[in-house]
Structure 1
């Protein structure tokens, strides 16, 4: 009898997980179909995937070319696009599956629609050939391990290992994001501070040893490209970038997710601080929309889970309504992203 109940309880989460495969495969290309002129093509990682151990390999973005090199599947640029798209879908399905089984299948369904119609997936459809899909996969794993119940030592190991992988894939993005996630996580779970501190320190040590090995035994060298670009953003360049298209720039932060985000801020006001921080960081980069989407999406997912866990049935219905409306709103007006202070329309 108990076995039947257990199996019945698992049918809906399994079906939602299976359904999310189709949602992530078909919905984003439909919602974010764009003209060629609006796409940003970066096939630098394609050439690096043929040999990731060169002086041209960014020291802070090593994992993506190394992974593509070792899969052996990349023989032309189109292969790179296919593999990164598969990773994007895989990350979304894994996260939806975890949410559906761990918390609520309705929450899993809503999150699949939210992600598929989010600015992050808009970026995945228009910024082709970047390391962002692997960053997204790593961040979903980090969130999964945060909300999982493990032995404390195992949890420290898993969090530190995933964090280490994230640092090797895109050091600055991961560092900012994980610090922000950890702060908000500790606000809700103060008793987990030792786990987060130890896992963070262990990841830093592993990454430091990794860099020493990389610089000593490979042609990869230290460079200050990221720091140089960041330093150039201050002054007139910062003003030029951010005084233009202010209204559309703000609208494009969340596009169809604005009703959901406003509702979430109303439910958990501290989430606004997270989004403001992400926006301030994004304002100091040329890729404003792209950076904000990458930084804000894990924060959005974190507070969505927190909001759902303390919501009444009526509040859950409102949240689910907003999640179903998100794909529909995407088709109500021309979609765009902001780059170098300009608005780039998908169509």
Structure 2
């Protein structure tokens, strides 16, 4: 009987794995079409970084930002020669493929409801709005590493005895540091903070890997530029320091409430659901992301990429014990409200002092 039960368990796991992979595969096509429908925008609302496309054709030079060179430098390393249109498609492909990986992972290690919920959660989030309209930026690859960081932290939590997860996390931290150092540093810190808070303990091994990985990523970046004889530059940091507090304050107080709304769009309902459950960790993460966002001009873009990886981590942690039927109804209702919001009101994002709308819906 034990042997028969073992065989049944193996077949059950294989069936679930195949189903999860199919859900992930189908989600690529669904997310691509759905995001085009929801976030299609006129050219004046799009921000295309043609500079990064040009850099993908050249070796390291002073034109690269030293804190974010892996995108697009990895295309040069692997000798991937893309046309401008293919480069745009590649940027979006990174978003769709990492979403599919996350959906398949959640479907297999949690349940089908969690996988589908996370898929719609991503689609309706400002991450999709931004990455479908800010094309050719390091954010595409940064979010890719951020989601993998969340997944391997979850795998480490499932099987603390396996050291391989620590090694993978170490590599991810280096790759993230090469892609967008300051942003990934904050993302990693916020994800780890939430993870430790929810688990009510600090995993010292993970903390060591975090510190060593970030340090190794930074030092290796310096060495790489030094060995290529390229001048080190940090234009983003210099820009942030050159503007005074009064300038940042005046920029963000214009359209303040709408700016905050753009950070969630329809997902504000689910954020409030988290707060009613007294999830203090996500509130603290939110305050941390808001503080950093204050010193940037790309308000919606920056907040979304800092905040949402940690929020995804919270959903995975919450789903470990499974969602009750009542929770499923509440979460499904939150997604329906989010979709209704996006269908009725005109989606927008905040950049500098202004709001940029995407389509002909009801505008504020």
| 1:53–1:218 CA contact under 8 A, matched in 2 | yes
1:137 corresponds in structure 2 to: 144
Is 1:202 the equivalent of 2:209? Answer: no
Match of 2:344 in 1: 332
Q: Where do 1:265-304 residues align within 5 Å?
A: 265-267=275-277, 268-304=279-315
CA deviation digits over 1:227-269, x for unaligned, max 9? 2222234322112211100111111110011111111222223
Give the secondary-structure state (helix, strand or coil) at the position aligned to 1:145.
helix
The separation in 2 between residues aligned to 1:38 and 1:278, in whole angstroms, is 24
For the pair 1:41 / 2:48, whether they are aligned, the reply is: yes
| Matches of 2:183 and 2:218, distance apart in 1 | 17
2:189 pairs with 179, 195, 200, which one? 179
CA contact (8 A) 1:186 1:192 kept: yes
Separation in structure 2 between the aligned mates of residue 219 and residue 79 of structure 1, nearest angstrom: 31
Structure 1 partner of 2:330: 318
Q: Supply the distance in 1 between the matched residues of 2:131 and 2:253 (Cα, whole angstroms).
A: 26
Aligned to 1:83: 90
Question: Corresponding residue for 1:109?
Answer: 116
1:227 corresponding residue in structure 2: 237
Number of residue equivalences = 347
Per the alignment, in what secondary structure is the counterpart of residue 132 of structure 2? helix
* Gaps in structure 2 of 5+ consecutive residues: 1-6, 360-364
Tell me the equivalent position of 2:4.
Answer: none
Q: Displacement of 1:48 after TM fit?
A: 0.9
The separation in 2 between residues aligned to 1:281 and 1:299, in whole angstroms, is: 15
CA 1:204–1:14 in 2, change beyond 3 Å: closer, same or farther?
A: closer
Query: Structure 1 length normalisation: TM-score?
Result: 0.94
The more displaced of 207-216 and 76-85 is 207-216
1:84-133 residue CA offsets vs partner (Å, 9 max, x unmatched): 11111111111111111111111000111110121011001111111111
For residue 190 of structure 1, report the CA deviation from its aligned partner.
4.7
Q: In 2, Cα distance between the equivalents of 1:8 and 1:208? A: 43
The Cα RMSD (Å) is 1.8
Q: Distance in 1 between matches of 2:215 and 2:240?
A: 25
Match of residue 270, structure 2, among 260, 264, 282: 260
| 1:164 CA drift (Å) | 0.7
The 8 Å contact of residues 53 and 219 in structure 1, kept in 2 or not, is answered as no
Within 5 Å, give how 1:9-48 maps onto structure 2: 9-48=16-55
For the 8 Å contact 1:59–1:220, the answer to whether it is kept is no
Equivalent residue in structure 2 for 1:92, among 99, 103, 118:
99
Q: CA deviation at 1:219?
A: 3.6
- Aligned mates of 2:237, 2:77 — CA distance in 1: 30
Q: Deviations over 1:250-292 (max 9, x none)?
A: 1111001111111122222331111121122112101001001
For structure 1, the 5+ residue unaligned runs are none
Deviation at 1:152, TM superposition (A): 4.3
Q: Deviations over 1:311-332 (max 9, x none)?
A: 4331123113323443332111
Change (3 A) 1:146 1:9: same
Compute the displacement of 1:192 (Å): 5.1
Distance 1:307-1:74 versus aligned 2 partners, 3 A rule: same
* CA shift in 2, pair 1:266/1:306, >3 Å: farther
Contact 2:346-2:357 at 8 Å conserved across structures: yes
Equivalences for 1:165-176 in 2 at 5 Å?
165-176=175-186
